[in-house]
Chain A
């Protein structure tokens, strides 16, 4: 007898329906699963067989064939345990048929318990958009994640028996409800900018980065507070909208990083991978492509401390997301695209010994060593970095102890206004922030005239700024002007923007 059960699988941050067909026929006992990779089949067979038996049912003695359709879809495995088991029970008449409105996903333990899986939110989102009154059956731990979307009934179960009882009306369950607005606003406050004492230059750079979506390089000795500053950048960005939060949460769902306590990510992500990370872990990939750190940082901040320690190919891999805001991961027969739009913050020491710009320890590097080190920094990746800021290590107890530090909230208000100006400016364009402007956009939206232009040209020459610095200065000057709500780019805006190109300057060498 043949039985059909619907399931689904995450496909990037989207999802696809999967039809689980189970045929039980007489013959020598066998258990075939078609449509799963060989490695996953063996494990799935063992789990399903034991779960069925240990739930008080009998496993059919004949020929059991399971087909996961479409076959072209490459699937990872364990989430189909539950629909396969339900199909077997229906096909052998141990349970009545499973209605076509039910979509079941879950891994089974050998005892028949239903275990949570990764990638539930993309599936739930997909089903809710289909609008066919689907009912999603999940492990209890996954239900909050599934209930984040509207227009979808989500049921949570602990055990295979419970699913069978429910389908045969032996027990009554109501769909999981979730106050997602409450969940969304209950994110709580992150780390606040006011906790960082002093570092006015670094804070100002963060504000500009947040306002214009500019990537940032912090150069400073150990202990100067680079990490502390970087961690506060998300708090300066406008809060995520609910749609953005769902988008971010989907990515984290596929990566399997959601917990029952925290089913919705409502804060902008801050990801800080260690420099030993592989390129696959950074940009995504693997046998069943998982999102990498660049996608986990989507709508947030990706922080690479000790940037020079990262392997060259790892840094090179950042080019694609930095250019397009997404990353395409190749899979055997097809490709998956994950969003990856983030503000990149790099941090590094100012010199090989690390103590240039430290007031306590003396730097022992020669000019040549410093020049060589900085040349290494200004590699191809730096082309994408608009702001380069020196963060010295100062003793702030002396100069800033009395001053009240600005809160993230205060800075965020200015950032918000600057972003509104940009939204107006780029209405109908493909970009929405100054940091995304190409040379063509710069000519249109970021003209410099009069005194400001003269200053820029004079500086290019006497500070021996490189050609690439020119466009970066214009971009940043535009954002500084926006922060001051100034329509035109003034002398002051250019002067400050020049200050953020410290690596492009030709310092005098012996």
Chain B
């Protein structure tokens, strides 16, 4: 039996996190010895409650078989002792002592990592920004890390996949419990394109709510910087930004309309000193890479003329009701819908359920 088998075994005991596991290693030297230690000895290190849990689990767990079972599912296990454990993640204060990985990604072969996170309910604007940034970064061989959640996370992953790029999804559940389930296919695509899905939780661990904040420390921990695209107040994406600050990583945010609740958190981040992101170059610069400036923020309507220009000027990224637009323009329905449809067909604005039109 290998030492690694016992790391995996300990990971399957609820309550054994990076801190307690480190104490065990410090006391017993290695996991194998700790696994075989008496309950009384264990109690002194990790407290009687958890020690009792270890005692219960080790009656059920056969470490070698457990590893074989996990490997039979084509999951890799990266422990802090392994060379292929992501080096940036090793440097944070409470690195996961192991990561389960689905996919054939070797972190050592890549130099550029970036996290992109945001709300599960983005506006079309947030979605579009994510798509542009993630695609451009993917084309330049950046590895984009995110949380596989709905909304911005999903958009970031799928944009990279479309560019045949590498992306990493960090789960708050086990690898066999992809959450949300609607992203199962996306996860498969990520792996097919050479990326990976990783988790510090055992493969069958359900998506517990308390798993998600700690999960965010891995997202920021895997990369030198985090880009928050859209985040309302009290968004999980802001927790990721907090971790990034603690870990000494760069925090960047995409500004939004002051009327858009989805940009409240990101605009606040910028107010507090986060780097304002208008394009890919802003991200590269923040991370210390010089880049040729080819700024093109906000100039998309320059070719518009007349009625189209007028209508477009009323539509912003936080959305406006068609009803209001009709009032603002004072146009007849026929003209109004002709011009609006033209803007929509040009991909400049988008309608969403509820009757609002958004600038893209």
Q: Give me the interface of A with B, judged by CB distance under 8 Å.
A: 198-201, 204, 220, 350-351, 356-357, 362-363, 366-368, 370, 374, 390-392, 394, 399-400, 455, 458-459, 462-463, 480, 484, 490-493, 495-496, 498-499, 502, 505, 507-508, 510
Q: Is the CB of B151 within 8 A of A507?
A: no
Taken residue by residue from 111 to 133, chain B's Cβ proximity to chain A (1 for < 8 Å, 0 otherwise) reads as 00000000011101001000000
> Which B residues lie within 8 Å of A390 (CB)?
322, 353-355
CB distance from B285 to the nearest CB of A (A): 29
User: Distance (Å) between the CB of A495 and the closest chain B CB?
Assistant: 4
State in angstroms the CA–CA spacing of A366 and B352 once bound together.
Answer: 13
A211 to chain B, nearest CB (A): 13
Distance (whole angstroms) from the CB of B326 to the closest CB of chain A: 6
B334 within 8 A of A: yes
How far does the alpha carbon of A204 sit from the alpha carbon of B155 in the complex, in Å? 37
B314 is an interface residue with CB less than 8 A from chain A: no
Contact partner, B353, options A198, A200, A204, A370, Cβ 8 Å: A370
Return A415 CB to nearest CB of chain B, in Å.
15
Question: Residue B301 at the A interface, CB < 8 A?
Answer: no
Q: How far is the CA of A134 from the CA of B53 in the complex (A)?
A: 97
Residues 316-359 of B at the A interface (beta carbon under 8 Å): 321-324, 326-327, 333-335, 337-338, 340-341, 344-345, 347, 350-356
- Complex Cα distance, B351 from A508, in Å, reads 10
Q: How distant is the Cα of A356 from the Cα of B353 in the complex, in angstroms? A: 8
Instruction: Check B182–A368 contact: CB distance below 8 A.
Output: yes
Asked if B150 is at the interface of the complex by the 8 Å CB criterion, the answer is yes
A362, A367, A498 — most chain B CB neighbours (10 Å):
A367
Q: Cβ of A399: which chain B residues have Cβ within 8 Å of it?
A: 324, 327
Which residues from chain B contact A362 at a C-beta distance below 8 Å?
261
Are B333 and A204 in contact, with the CB atoms below 8 A? yes
CA distance in complex: A462, B351 (Å): 12
Q: Is B172 in contact with chain A by the CB < 8 A criterion?
A: no
Residues of A near B333 (CB, < 8 A) are 204, 492, 496
The chain B residue sitting closest to A492, CB to CB, is: B334
Query: Shortest distance in angstroms between B185's beta carbon and chain A's nearest beta carbon?
Result: 12
User: Known interface pairs A391-B355, A463-B344, A505-B351. Does A492 touch B335 (Cβ–Cβ under 8 Å)?
Assistant: yes
Please provide the 9 A-B residue pairs with the shortest distance between their CB atoms, ordered closest to farther. A492-B334, A390-B355, A357-B354, A356-B354, A495-B337, A496-B337, A495-B338, A510-B154, A392-B355
Question: Closest CB-CB distance, A471 to chain B, in whole Å?
Answer: 19
Contact B355 A458 (CB under 8 A): no
Name the residue of chain A whose CB is nearest to the CB of B232: A362
**25 sampled A-B residue pairs with Cβ under 8 A:** A201-B326, A204-B333, A356-B353, A366-B121, A367-B121, A368-B182, A390-B355, A392-B321, A392-B354, A392-B355, A399-B324, A463-B344, A480-B334, A484-B334, A491-B338, A492-B333, A493-B334, A495-B338, A495-B341, A496-B334, A498-B337, A502-B351, A507-B351, A508-B350, A510-B150
Q: A363 and B345 in contact (CB under 8 A), knowing A399-B324, A492-B338, A510-B150?
A: no
Contacts A204-B333, A399-B324, A492-B334; A368 near B353 (Cβ below 8 A): no
Q: Which residues from A are CB-within-8-Å of B344?
A: 462-463
Contact B353 A374 (CB under 8 A): yes
Whether B354 lies near A350 (C-beta < 8 A) is yes
Tell me if A351 and B353 are in contact (CB < 8 A): yes
A394–B324 Cα distance when bound, in Å, is 9
Contacts of B356 in A (CB 8 A): 357, 392
- Please determine whether A499 and B355 come into contact, CB atoms closer than 8 angstroms: no
* B323 adjacent to A392 (CB under 8 Å): yes
In the complex the two chains form, is B155's CB within 8 Å of A510's CB?
Answer: yes
Which B residues touch A496, using CB under 8 A?
A: 333-334, 337-338
* Contact A510-B334, Cβ < 8 Å, known A394-B323, A463-B344: no
The tally of residues in B whose CB lies under 8 Å from a CB in A reads 35
Task: Please indicate the chain A residues that have their CB under 8 angstroms from the CB of B321 in the complex.
Answer: 357, 392, 394
Closest to B182 in A: A368
Contact flag A458-B345 (CB < 8 Å), given A200-B326, A484-B334, A492-B338: yes
Provide the bound-state CA to CA distance between A200 and B324, in Å: 9
With a CB–CB cut-off of 8 A, which chain B residues contact A366?
120-121, 150
A484–B335 CA distance with the chains assembled, in angstroms: 13
* Interface set of B (CB-CB < 8 Å, partner A): 120-122, 124, 127, 150-151, 154-155, 180, 182, 261, 321-324, 326-327, 333-335, 337-338, 340-341, 344-345, 347, 350-356
Closest to B158 in A: A510
Distance, CA A82 to CA B71, complexed state (A): 92
Bound complex: CA A370 to CA B322 (Å): 20
What residue of chain B has the Cβ atom nearest to residue A362's Cβ? B261
Give CA–CA (A183, B354) in the complex, Å.
Answer: 45
In the bound complex, residues from chain B placing their C-beta under 8 Å from that of A499 are: 322, 337, 340-341
Interface centre among A368, A484, A492, A510, by most B CB within 10 Å? Answer: A510
In Å, the complex CA distance between A200 and B151 comes to: 33
Q: Say whether B150 contacts A367, CB under 8 Å.
A: yes
**In angstroms, how far is the closest chain B Cβ from the Cβ of A194?**
17
Q: Are B151 and A510 in touch, CB under 8 angstroms?
A: yes
Other A-B contacts than A392-B356, A496-B334, 8 sampled, CB-CB below 8 A, are: A366-B121, A368-B182, A370-B353, A391-B355, A399-B327, A502-B351, A508-B350, A510-B122
Q: Please give the distance in Å from A402's CB to the nearest CB on chain B.
A: 11
How far is B338's CA from A490's CA once the two chains are assembled, in angstroms? 10
Which residue on chain A has the smallest CB distance to residue B322?
A201
- What is the distance, in angstroms, from A164's C-beta to the closest C-beta of chain B? 68
**Which B residues are CB-close (under 8 A) to A351?**
353-354
* A499 CA to B303 CA, complexed, in Å: 25
**Bound-state Cα–Cα, A165 to B318, Å:** 82
Q: Which residues of A contact B354 (CB under 8 A)?
A: 350-351, 356-357, 363, 390, 392
User: How close is B352's CB to chain A, nearest CB, in angstroms?
Assistant: 6
Interface centre among B120, B333, B350, B352, by most A CB within 10 Å? B333
Whose C-beta in chain B lies nearest to the C-beta of A368? B182
Q: Could you say which residues of chain B place their CB within 8 Å of the CB of A458? A: 345
**Chain B residues positioned under 8 Å from A220 (CB to CB):** 355
Tell me whether A455 and B341 are in contact (CB under 8 A).
Answer: yes
Alpha-carbon distance A278/B352, docked complex (angstroms) = 35
Taken together as a complex, chains A and B put the C-alpha atoms of A2 and B333 apart, in Å, by: 75
A492 to chain B, nearest CB (A): 3
CA distance A366 to B340 in the complex (A): 26
B151 — which chain A residues lie within 8 A by C-beta?
367, 510
A394 to B326, CA, bound (A): 13
Residue from B124, B261, B338 in contact with A508 in the complex, judged by beta carbons closer than 8 Å:
B124
B182 proximity list for chain A (CB < 8 A) = 368
Q: Which residue of A lies closest to B346 (CB)?
A: A462
In the bound complex, how far is the Cα of B321 from the Cα of A199, in angstroms? 11
A392 to chain B, nearest CB (A): 4
Asked whether, in the complex, the Cβ of B341 is within 8 Å of the Cβ of A498, the reply is: yes
Q: Which of A484, A490, A507 contacts B352 (CB 8 A)?
A: A507
In the complex, which residues of chain A have a beta carbon less than 8 angstroms from the beta carbon of B326?
200-201
Taking CB atoms, residues of chain A closer than 8 Å to B327 are 200, 399-400
Least Cβ distance of B338 to chain A in Å? 4
A490 to B334, CA, bound (A): 9
Chain B neighbourhood of A198, CB < 8 A: 323
CB distance from A478 to the nearest CB of B (A): 14
Within the assembled complex, what's the spacing in Å between the Cα atoms of A323 and B356?
34
**Closest chain A residue, CB of each to CB of B183:** A510
Min CB–CB distance A479 → chain B (angstroms): 13
Partner of A368, one of B127, B150, B347: B150
- Bound CA span A367–B121, Å: 7
**In whole angstroms, what is the CA distance A370 to B120 when docked?**
13
In the complex, the chain B residue whose C-beta lies closest to that of A500 is B337
Shortest A285–chain B CB gap in Å is 37
A400 and B324 CA atoms in complex are apart in Å by 10
